[in-house]
Amino acid sequence: MFCDTEKKPHEQYEEIKEKINTFHGIKDAADSVVIFVNPCTMQIVIKHWIDKSIKSPAKPVNAPLIEECTGIKNYKGKQEQVQEMMELITLDNYKTMRQRISELGTNDSVLGNSNINTLFERLESLNGDWIDEINMRLETCTP
């Protein structure tokens, strides 16, 4: 599951994690299945072009940085703007983004942090055992 933590106090994000933990009967089940970005996904996208951290999920706040990096003016997250931005992602800037996110912290309550690097590492590996390991951990403790 992929989650943006959004703004403090991160109530919806915390509720999602608690529901996952309760469902599986494991105190930290969510840690195995939740990929987060604090404050939002744009934190990762922007790392393709610049090594800055965004401080807010608000599109108007991030629009100047997005324009600086992509040339997209007045970013509002509209479908055509997102498509235009995705077309600017290349293998080279993907590799740059991967390096930058590998240096992020993984504490979900800290602005600018994310554990998405774990997901990318797993998806890029030739070994899919990690899926079975997560499933086994969750299935053996399900009430």
Residue-range domain boundaries for the chain: 2-130
Cα angle 136, 138, 139 (rounded to 5 degrees) comes to 65
Give me the DSSP letters along the chain.
-EEE--STT-HHHHHHHHHHHHHHT-TTTHHHH-EEESS-THHHHGGGT---------HHHHHHHHHHHH---S----HHHHHHHHTT--HHHHHHHHHHHHTS---TTSTT-B-HHHHHHHHHSS--HHHHHHHHHHHTT--
pTM, full prediction: 0.87
- What confidence score (pLDDT) does residue 131 get? 92
Rg over alpha carbons for the chain, rounded to the nearest Å, is 17
Residue 108: its pLDDT value, please?
94
pLDDT mean by block of 10 residues, the chain; 143 residues: 87 93 91 94 97 93 96 96 97 98 95 96 93 87 51
Give the pLDDT of residue 141. 58
